[in-house]
Amino acid sequence: MKAPKLTLFHNSQCSKSRAALALLEQSGREFEVVAYLDMPPTAALLDRLLTQLGMGPEQLVRRGEDLYEELGLEKNPPASRSEWIELLIGLPMEPVPWWGALPRT
């Protein structure tokens, strides 16, 4: 049985994302790289990916970034899942552990 093709949502400025890319390259598996800051996912795609991962969008937020503080997310986070997703589109996101390399469906 052939393994499904993987997609890496990549941020070349992120050391963890570069490490994930290197691991995938070494694995010999077929995969696609999406530079999500240049080509952000749609809200529907991001919602589907989060659902597949069993995660909430707030789990992708990089709390250590200046932007997190600038946006006031600690004191005034988005009120709903859809508001979080809209906020995340095109912003740097926290790398997801190894299971974040999702098979495309």
Residue 104: pLDDT band by 50, 70, 90 thresholds?
A: very low
Which range is least confidently modeled, 55-59, 71-75, 99-103? 99-103
Q: What is the pLDDT of residue 15?
A: 86
Phi, psi of 71 (to 5 degrees): -80, -5
| Sheet containing strand 102-103, strands side by side | 31-35, 6-10, 102-103
Q: What is the pLDDT of residue 4?
A: 63
Q: Exactly one of 14, 33, 43, 89 is catalytic; name it.
A: 14
> CA torsion, points 79, 105, 34, 45, in degrees to nearest 10?
-20
Q: What is the pLDDT of residue 95?
A: 57
Residue 14 falls in the annotated catalytic set: yes
Cβ pair 92, 65 in contact under 8 A: yes
Question: Average of pLDDT values for 4-28?
Answer: 87
Domains of the chain: 6-103 (3.40.30.10)
Q: What is the pLDDT of residue 74?
A: 86
Q: Give the chain's mean pLDDT.
A: 80
Q: Which residues contact 13 (CB under 8 A, 6 or more apart)?
A: 37, 92
Tell me how far apart the alpha carbons of residues 16 and 6 are, in angstroms, rounded to a whole number.
17
Question: Average of pLDDT values for 91-101?
Answer: 53
Q: Please tell me whether the overall predicted TM-score, pTM, comes out greater than 0.85 for this model.
A: no
Cβ pair 50, 57 in contact under 8 A: yes
